[in-house]
Amino acid sequence: MAQRTVSVTKEMSADAKKLIELMGIPCIEAPGEAEAQCSLLAKSGKAYGTMTEDMDALTFGTPFLV
């Protein structure tokens, strides 16, 4: 129910991405499931692990789940 109360527009998403990039943090947009993309980055050594609210990343083989 809490997710239904929050509305994120395309402009808000674009602003967040720009802010992250201005801070010098790489920003990657996943073509599909975010947990799948994060798990792939972690398995390839480009990220430490995957942070998520659920356990989906484990099914994608993340080496470390936060």
> Tens digits of per-residue pLDDT, 19-50?
999 999 988 889 999 999 999 999 999 999 99
Give φ, ψ of 8 to 5 degrees: -110, 120
1 has pLDDT over 70: no
- How high is the pLDDT of residue 46? 93
Give φ, ψ of 35 to 5 degrees: -65, -35
Residue ranges making up the domain that contains 55: 3-59
Is residue 66, in this structure, part of any structural domain at all? no
Residue indicated by tokens 């239904």: 4
CA count, 13 A, side-chain hemisphere, 64:
9
62 has pLDDT over 80: yes
Is residue 19, in this structure, part of any structural domain at all? yes
pTM over 0.85: no
- How high is the pLDDT of residue 2? 65
In the chain, how many domains are there? 1
Mean pLDDT of 3-9: 81
DSSP 50: B
Here the tokens at position 19 are 């802010």
Is residue 64, in this structure, part of any structural domain at all? no
